[in-house]
Copies of this chain bind each other. A is one copy, B any other.
Amino acid sequence: MTSQFDKSIIPFQSGWGNIQRPTLLVNKTRAVRNLKGMITKAVRSGTLLRPHFKTHQLAQVGEWFRAAGVDRITVSSLSMAAYFAENGWRDITVAFPVNIRELPEINSLARRIRLNLLVESLPAVRQLSKQLQHPVGVWMKIDTGYGRTGLAADNVEAILALAKEINESMHLEFMGLLSHSGHTYNAENRKQVIAIHNAGLKSLQSLQQMLQGEVGARPAISMGDTPSCSVLESFNGVDEMRPGNFIYYDLMQWGRGVCEAEDIAAAVACPVVAVHPERDEVVVYGGAVHLSKEMLQDEKGHPSYGRVAMLEEKGWGNWLPQVKLGKVSQEHGILQGKIPLISEDLIGKLVAIIPNHSCLAADLLHEVCFFEGDQ
């Protein structure tokens, strides 16, 4: 059976000659360096690293984690959990409010692997209690300020009621409190990221104490996205962290000071198909269906869908300071700005687009090329 997550792997053969269409380039040297740095931090704090695989969504990249000792992972959908279960992963958390329309798949997976789900409402917990045929772990999703999903951290009454309901269910094992401080993505600098993390942790610890008193066992605390896990040096008090984007990073993380340009491990190779020197534009094969419409603002406040670098022998170079991916339509990307050596000689050449959001580009592209970067 093929999966929506299966990709064509394009072999890198001392050059980019195999690349014909928009292709995700992954610099393995950088990705593994990012991974090892995160593992070192986790070990130092005695925190379990349960990385989020929604960024790369690839069994092949998963093997780099496995080789580094990771055996528990996070994903963002049950379909993705099924794909990684097929690829040998045996302990998977679906970090998304449980979708009770997928109960047949939940039962099918829970029979084969240790499956952990997120809950935040009584109706969902009751449906699970009624229909589960195998044990699953459940985390209670707590909102510590992001405001997307989860029970508000100050809604102590509802949190306690849900914990009791979970404890009464035969197949549900209460794991603890899980939060996603997505508002770190709006932080303007590292100091703000740290402040958001610390405030969230304090909320969760106070709930942890309360629940330990009321329902017995000490619930674990799971928190930590790429901005906070990259910026913080210590995770004392956090039982597990779930960063995902750090394996590749991207322009969004770079713009918030979370990574350096040299940490970015993914870019999109795009063939040049048209050149318009009269208006400083180059058209590439690479559009919304390859890079997404994730938009950032350039220095002048205008839309930018990515930065542009030349492809060199061993990876992409520095991005060109006055060039951007200024427009995307379904399959077209329009590079705008001072493009060096702009002429029709570029037709058929490849350029590298550094994506605004590597998770979405990795999700969209159907072809991936891994290469060893410079050490």
Tell me the bound Cα distance from A363 to B21 in angstroms: 17
With A and B bound together, what is the CA distance between A208 and B127 in angstroms? 67
Give the copy number: 2
Query: With contacts A288-B294, A347-B124 known, is A271 near B99, CB below 8 A?
Result: yes
Give the distance in Å from the alpha carbon of A99 to the alpha carbon of B272 in the complex.
8
Is there a chain B Cβ closer than 8 Å to A79's Cβ?
yes
- Contact flag A99-B149 (CB < 8 Å), given A123-B347, A344-B121, A344-B123: no
Residues of chain B with a CB closer than 8 A to A148's CB: 283, 327, 329, 332, 334
Is A231 in the interface zone, CB < 8 Å from B? no
Which residue of the partner chain, among B19, B99, B274, B288, contacts A360 with CB atoms under 8 Å?
A: B288
Interface residue A312 (Cβ < 8 Å from any Cβ of B):
no
Complex alpha-carbon distance, A351 and B147, angstroms: 21
How many of chain A's residues have a CB under 8 angstroms from any CB in B?
58
Chain B CB within 8 A of A86 CB: no
Q: How long is the Cα–Cα vector from A121 to B105 in the complex, in angstroms?
A: 52
**Cβ A96 vs Cβ B289 within 8 A:** no
Cross-chain contact of A20 among B102, B294, B295, B360 (Cβ < 8 A): B102
Shortest beta-carbon distance from A342 to chain B in Å: 13
A98 to chain B, nearest CB (A): 7
CA distance A366 to B2 in the complex (A): 12
Q: Are B285 and A292 in contact (CB under 8 A)?
A: no
Q: Which of B96, B104, B344, B364 contacts A273 (CB 8 A)?
A: B96
Instruction: Indicate which residue in B79, B104, B347 contacts A121 across the interface (CB closer than 8 Å).
Output: B347
Query: Does A275 touch B at the CB level, under 8 Å?
Result: yes
Tell me how far the C-beta of A352 lies from the nearest C-beta in chain B, rounded to whole angstroms.
Answer: 15
For A293, the chain B residues whose CB sits under 8 A away are: 292-295, 360
Whole-angstrom distance between the Cβ of A138 and the nearest chain B Cβ: 14
| B120→A274 contact, CB < 8 A | yes
Interface residues of A in 116-131 (CB under 8 A from B): 120-124, 127
A279 and B348 form a contact (CB under 8 A)? no
B149 lies within 8 A of A332 (CB): yes
CB-defined contacts of A77 to chain B, threshold 8 Å: 21, 285, 331
- Which 3 A-B pairs rank lowest in CB-CB distance, beginning with the nearest? A97-B273, A293-B293, A100-B348
* A residues in contact (CB < 8 Å) with B: 2, 4, 19-21, 54, 76-77, 79, 96-102, 104-105, 120-124, 127, 147-150, 182, 271, 273-275, 279, 283, 285, 288-289, 292-295, 327, 329-332, 334, 344-345, 347-348, 350, 359-360, 363-364, 366
